[in-house]
Amino acid sequence: MTKILLLSDSHSYIDDRILDYAKQADEIWHCGDFGSFEIIEQLEKIKPLKGVYGNIDGAKIRSEFPEVIRFLCEGTEVLMIHIGGYPGKYTPLAQKKISEKAPKLFISGHSHILKAMYDQKNNLLHLNPGACGKQGWHKMRTMMRFVIDGEEIKDLEIIELGTKI
């Protein structure tokens, strides 16, 4: 059983609440737009970090994180892309990667819109944790946590971190 904290779009901002939730997880997954390498260093001090770079991330972050990552967590195949769209409206890159081999869990960020949707066509769960940072048009800062137990994804929680102000 692996407890996951799922973040995206921190845009160089992290606070004690995010760090406290990170301490409760087994792994931290970040869907891009870290904003600064300091965010990565803070998170890596707490728990193992997996992630992808986002469209605002510079060369240093892009040298450390891929555009797309596919990995196994226990028995669950995961695909993560920063700009991926959502079921029925995937980006061309996301659609290509899903078509090559559909994961059980597809994760993206970028939109700053929290979504949890089941894609019946591709038989996968799509998650977008919204944005935990303060930059962007979103009003509520959000992230998610859940558990992967073998091939089962369970105990999904939406965490509201408060407004950007």
Residue 45 has pLDDT above 90, yes or no: yes
pLDDT band, residue 135 (cuts 50/70/90): confident
- Counting beta carbons within 10 angstroms of the beta carbon of residue 1, is it exposed (0 to 12), middle (13 to 18) or buried (19 or more)? exposed
Residue 111: DSSP 8-state: S
pLDDT band, residue 139 (cuts 50/70/90): confident
How is domain 2-163 classified at the architecture level of CATH? 4-Layer Sandwich (3.60)
Residue 161 has pLDDT above 80, yes or no: yes
Q: Cα separation of 20 and 15, whole Å?
A: 9
Q: Cα separation of 79 and 105, whole Å?
A: 6
Structure tokens at 32: 């891009």
Q: Cα separation of 101 and 18, whole Å?
A: 33
pLDDT for position 164: 72
Structure tokens at 109: 């960020």
Structure tokens at 7: 């973040």
Average pLDDT (143-162) is 96
pLDDT band, residue 137 (cuts 50/70/90): confident
Contacts of residue 99, defined as CB under 8 A and 6 or more positions apart, other chains included, come to: none
Average pLDDT (71-81) is 97
Give the residue carrying structure tokens 């992808």. 52
Among the listed residues 24, 72, 14, the one whose alpha carbon sits nearest the alpha carbon of residue 46:
24
Q: What percent of the chain has pLDDT over 90?
A: 93
Question: By three-state DSSP, how is residue 81 classified?
Answer: strand
